Structure 1
Amino acid sequence: MPHPRRWWILGVLCMALLVLSVDNMILTLAIPAFMRELGAGPGDVQWILDAYILVFAGLLITAGSLSDRYGRRRLLIIGLVILGGASLAAAFATQPWQLIACRALMGAGAALAMPSTLSVLIVVFDDNERRKAMSVWGMVSMVGLVAGPTLGGLLLQHFWWGSVFLVNVPLAALGIIGAYAVVPESRGPARRADPLGVLSSITGMAALVWAIISLPHAGWSAPVVIAMGVAVVALVAFARWQSRSRHPMVPPALFRDREFTGAALSVVLLVFSTAAVQLALTQFLQLVLGYGAMAAALAFVPLAVAVAAFNLVGATLAGRFSNKALIVAGMLLIAAAQSVLALIGPGDGYPLLAVGLVVMGAGTGLATPSVYATLMGAIPKEHAGVGSAVNDTIQQGGMALGVAALGSLLSAGYSAALPAGVPEAARTSLTDGLATAAATGSADLARVAREAFLSSMSSVSTAAALLSVAGSVLAFAVLRGRAPASPSDRERKTYATT
């Protein structure tokens, strides 16, 4: 039976999700202030950004398993307390290393809280309303992606850099109060602890994420190769141990379910293909069109509005069409949007980009809730926490891979598109190209650098469109067209041996 206060509970979960999504995006505009006021160098800035995602991705699966074991509301509250406290400390840091340490703590708090935002939703909503609730959940996540940079710009315009961290404190406090007031406690059946699984999963995921985020600027250097090797060994050991353990953190039967596996692969291709395109668009807005940071953030509003609108459309169509149909249609729309972005040329301004963003938002709004509904619908409620964590891990991993792979393609394409005779200092990135042009007073160099970037962005958008088409083909081939069996049926049929 659905919980009688389920919509109030959803509001609290969305508040917690908003804290996490805003926190993850709000930092992007504060980098110059860190360098100016904290004396942070390029290496410090990289770790200020990456310490969060490294700890977050490394702890997610462990945090999901702990929430199933010790209580999902409890882990949600503990995570928000850590996130809020670390944000308060970060606002008053005086050294770069202090800020890096606070960012790592914030990543730990986010990892503890994030799986509960979806696993509690699975528990309190029944099959009839879960799709609609997931649409709202996904819409709030997208709002946070746009609201983060916008709010960051407003705060940095009127206050000091620490204000971008202080904003997390009242949001986290409201989430904690709401969780205590309306969110029921839930957990899976008592199971033994799995210290070997915890150690191997944290080691493997942390090493993998570090290697991925280091690859674009370090290449296949010795540390990256070693980290990748450690990741492979640790994750293979984790998988083998989970298949043999009597009390696994992640039930191996989960990945034998075609609905779960097909939806997981669709998530990877979905976020892989969109992450780097948005990275390229941020540079296009600021370095090609000349937008300020605030205007660049507001330029993504059509994307958020379209996602919100088509989340509601998708929730309405869910009763008439299967999740499979909505995923396929959504990913084809995303491919169409990326094809529009590939057409942007030197003479085009914002209007063509806005068309692409609206179409991309429509596709994302249709596909994303259906993907999550399919993925989480394949998980019994007793494993909701770790299932949500696996979903989050897949999403973060796919996003990091997308930024690393397509980001490298963007950089390589820019350098290759530059004509012979361009100074070596201008070949690394568009930022360096424009800086070199400004230093030498060469308007031709600035024009050539922008044209080379647009050519490279077109190649990246084309590659992303092909990946989105591949995702739609995969979803069509793997997912079932009919509604999946209920979690209770799956539990009896699939998880009995686990």
Structure 2
Amino acid sequence: MMTKQPLHPIWLLVLTSLGFFMSMMDSMIVTTAATAIRTDFHISVTTLQWAFNAYNITIAAVLLVGVALGEWFGRRKGYLWGLTIFTVGSVFCALAPNIDWLIGARVIAGVGASVMTPLSMAILTNALPVSQRGKALGIWGGIGGLALIIGPSLGGLIVSRLAWPWIFWLNVPVGLLAVTLSLKYLPESTGTRVVLHPLDVVALVGGLAGIVWALAVLPTTSHQVGVLVVFVVSGGLSGWFLWRQRRTTQPLVPLSLFASRRFTGGNLATFLLYAAMYGVVFFLPQFLQVVRGTDALHAGLEILPWTGTLVLVAPVAGKLVDRFGERPLALWGLGLQGGGYLLLAFLAPSSAYGLLIPPLVLAGSGLSLAGPALQKVVLGAVERPALGQAAGIYNVCRLLGGAVGTAAAVLLFTRFGNPQSATSFLTGFQVTMVGMGALSLMGLGVAWPLVSQSVLDSESLQN
């Protein structure tokens, strides 16, 4: 079913990108508010991470279920429900009187966000021919990536002038506008219909959430036996889920997709790319405030050389992907991001902010190049009916990478530093940057064997 009014491609891009924008904004705008939240609620860095990880873990755990419902009942319907739940969750975040309430509200927002990004990708990809997808996904990433620019700066401005709850009130008018315009203009489409078995849903959600939670908590808790039990049970649930998927005729996660080297490699490289990025974004604003002594507003502005490159480079990267193929762009992107983070670790002790700009630009350019390339790798490896499921799996890998990367960054930081003094914070920050740089460079080994779609197209024409 299509909308009654024809939709210009630009509006298609804007409306589908808006969901990605809001989802990323909710992650990024909190970064410069982290110090204010930690101070206001009198919590540790270890506890603070759950204001971030609760959101990402929820999205990763619920995403495939939400996508399956969207594929069955309509991608636009699922997208609208996601926008609505996300907006309601943002209201609860703004009203949070303590960290437990905030974490719970972030879970609600995460449920809504779990379908916003993958279904927007599926709606956009389904409406365009293959030859235009790379460019469109590059622009989609650029528009959504505006949150990387606006988020930290706007969050810093709000914290400096008002209070941190207002970073969540901002989502309400944007969410209402997105629901109204998407309901009126976006085309409806469906994909592969999967019958959801309740036990599969429980196993998937419980398995993913439990494993990531255990990995994040185990290194810093005194109740390690209980956490290990959760990890083992969650691993068992995940294994049982995969066993079920292999034997059902209508799998929620078609394991046959992973037979493609491009699909598997693209998702694993995506996991590493965003694990590194989220680990850095959690600590970089805090480093600027605690070590360099900047306020929240200026910390957001000083991140701009990193985040601003996404909007500038991503659309160009999409065109380059269409022309030269995904593999070169993915390799360059992962290498530049990893190199940028390693340089940050080396230059962090310097008091001259200007020295931090080149590595920030390198890291941002790397993310901007690799992101569209890996998106096209994953979506280009499946047939059109499976686009929604492929987009869902891609975003699960992206968000699981973010949750694991944040947990790994917190582990490294707490092992070698603490936020009580600038000197200790700096030591922990440097070690964390080395770790995140290493994660990104590990992606080079995964992306190296990938064959570009342009090469496959050339081979098919010759045959």
Normalised to the residue count of structure 1, the TM-score between the two structures is: 0.83
The answer to whether 1:375 aligns with 2:363 is no
Closer, same or farther: CA 25–122 of 1 in aligned 2, 3 Å: same
- Counterpart of 1:395 in structure 2 is 398
Q: Secondary structure at the match of 1:318?
A: helix
Closer, same or farther: CA 474–89 of 1 in aligned 2, 3 Å: closer
- Amino-acid identity (%): 28
Query: How far, CA to CA, are the matches of 1:373 and 1:171 in structure 2?
Result: 28
Deviations 1:446-489 (A, max 9, x none): 5xx36xx34x5444434443433332232122x11453768xx9
Query: How far, CA to CA, are the matches of 2:350 and 2:34 in structure 1?
Result: 31
The Cα shift of 1:98 comes to: 4.7
The Cα shift of 1:287 comes to: 2.0
One-letter identity of the residue aligned with 1:176: V
Question: Could you list the runs of 4 or more consecutive aligned residues of structure 1 that deviate by over 6 angstroms after TM superposition?
Answer: none
Closer, same or farther: CA 460–29 of 1 in aligned 2, 3 Å: closer
Worse-matched range after superposition: 404-413 or 238-247: 404-413
Pick from 122, 146, 150: which aligns with 1:143?
A: 146
- Counterpart of 2:107 in structure 1 is 104
Query: How far, CA to CA, are the matches of 1:406 and 1:34 in structure 2?
Result: 19
Pick from 465, 470, 476: which aligns with 2:437?
A: 465
- Counterpart of 1:218 in structure 2 is 221
Pick from 423, 440, 451: which aligns with 1:480?
A: 451
Aligned pair count reads: 453
Deviations 1:119-145 (A, max 9, x none): 111111211111111112222333213
The Cα shift of 1:368 comes to: 1.0
- Counterpart of 2:30 in structure 1 is 27
Query: How far, CA to CA, are the matches of 2:404 and 2:223 in structure 1?
Result: 15
Deviations 1:401-453 (A, max 9, x none): 22222432233234xxxxxxxxxxxxxx0x2235xxxxxxxxxxx5xx36xx3
Query: How far, CA to CA, are the matches of 2:99 and 2:343 in structure 1?
Result: 41
Q: Aligned runs of 1:326-365 on 2, under 5 Å?
A: 326-344=329-347, 346-365=349-368
Do the aligned partners of 2:32 and 2:285 also contact (CA within 8 Å) in 1? no
The answer to whether 1:178 aligns with 2:150 is no
Computing the radius of gyration from Cα coordinates, the structure with the larger value is 1
Do the aligned partners of 2:339 and 2:362 also contact (CA within 8 Å) in 1? yes
Query: How far, CA to CA, are the matches of 1:182 and 1:480 in structure 2?
Result: 37
Q: Aligned runs of 1:190-209 on 2, under 5 Å?
A: 190-209=193-212
- Counterpart of 1:168 in structure 2 is 171
Pick from 282, 302, 309: which aligns with 2:312?
A: 309
- Counterpart of 1:439 in structure 2 is none
Query: How far, CA to CA, are the matches of 1:369 and 1:403 in structure 2?
Result: 22
Deviations 1:119-173 (A, max 9, x none): 1111112111111111122223332133223222222333344322221111111
Closer, same or farther: CA 258–192 of 1 in aligned 2, 3 Å: same
- Counterpart of 2:90 in structure 1 is 87
- Counterpart of 1:425 in structure 2 is none
Do the aligned partners of 1:63 and 1:115 also contact (CA within 8 Å) in 2? no
Query: How far, CA to CA, are the matches of 2:163 and 2:346 in structure 1?
Result: 40
One-letter identity of the residue aligned with 1:474: V
The Cα shift of 1:312 comes to: 2.9
Closer, same or farther: CA 199–29 of 1 in aligned 2, 3 Å: same
Closer, same or farther: CA 34–305 of 1 in aligned 2, 3 Å: closer
Worse-matched range after superposition: 270-279 or 235-244: 270-279
One-letter identity of the residue aligned with 1:240: W
One-letter identity of the residue aligned with 2:340: A
The Cα shift of 1:201 comes to: 0.5
- Counterpart of 1:432 in structure 2 is 420
The answer to whether 1:318 aligns with 2:321 is yes
Pick from 13, 17, 32: which aligns with 2:20?
A: 17
Query: How far, CA to CA, are the matches of 1:367 and 1:61 in structure 2?
Result: 23
Query: How far, CA to CA, are the matches of 1:93 and 1:408 in structure 2?
Result: 27
Query: How far, CA to CA, are the matches of 1:41 and 1:347 in structure 2?
Result: 29
The Cα shift of 1:49 comes to: 4.5
The Cα shift of 1:249 comes to: 0.7
- Counterpart of 2:129 in structure 1 is 126
- Counterpart of 2:255 in structure 1 is 252
Query: How far, CA to CA, are the matches of 2:61 and 2:306 in structure 1?
Result: 30
Do the aligned partners of 1:310 and 1:366 also contact (CA within 8 Å) in 2? yes
Pick from 278, 298, 302: which aligns with 2:301?
A: 298
Query: How far, CA to CA, are the matches of 2:76 and 2:453 in structure 1?
Result: 33
Q: Secondary structure at the match of 1:432?
A: coil
Closer, same or farther: CA 60–40 of 1 in aligned 2, 3 Å: farther
Do the aligned partners of 2:37 and 2:164 also contact (CA within 8 Å) in 1? yes
Q: Secondary structure at the match of 2:448?
A: helix
Do the aligned partners of 1:194 and 1:249 also contact (CA within 8 Å) in 2? no
Worse-matched range after superposition: 280-289 or 295-304: 280-289
Pick from 235, 245, 254: which aligns with 1:242?
A: 245
Worse-matched range after superposition: 159-168 or 322-331: 159-168
One-letter identity of the residue aligned with 1:152: G
Query: How far, CA to CA, are the matches of 1:357 and 1:157 in structure 2?
Result: 24
- Counterpart of 1:277 in structure 2 is 280
Do the aligned partners of 1:90 and 1:102 also contact (CA within 8 Å) in 2? yes
The Cα shift of 1:328 comes to: 1.1
Bigger relative contact order, structure 1 or 2 (CA pairs below 8 A, ≥6 apart): 2
Deviations 1:72-110 (A, max 9, x none): 110110111112123234434556655444332212111
The Cα shift of 1:393 comes to: 1.1
Unaligned runs of 5+ in 1: 415-428, 435-445, 490-498
Pick from 66, 69, 73: which aligns with 2:72?
A: 69
Deviations 1:330-355 (A, max 9, x none): 22222322332232153442122111
Closer, same or farther: CA 321–49 of 1 in aligned 2, 3 Å: closer
Query: How far, CA to CA, are the matches of 2:124 and 2:436 in structure 1?
Result: 31
Closer, same or farther: CA 25–457 of 1 in aligned 2, 3 Å: closer
- Counterpart of 1:492 in structure 2 is none
The answer to whether 1:116 aligns with 2:119 is yes
One-letter identity of the residue aligned with 1:432: Q
- Over the aligned positions, Cα root-mean-square deviation in angstroms equals 2.8
Unaligned runs of 5+ in 2: none
One-letter identity of the residue aligned with 2:451: R
Do the aligned partners of 2:154 and 2:300 also contact (CA within 8 Å) in 1? no
Deviations 1:287-326 (A, max 9, x none): 2211111111111111122222222332332343111111
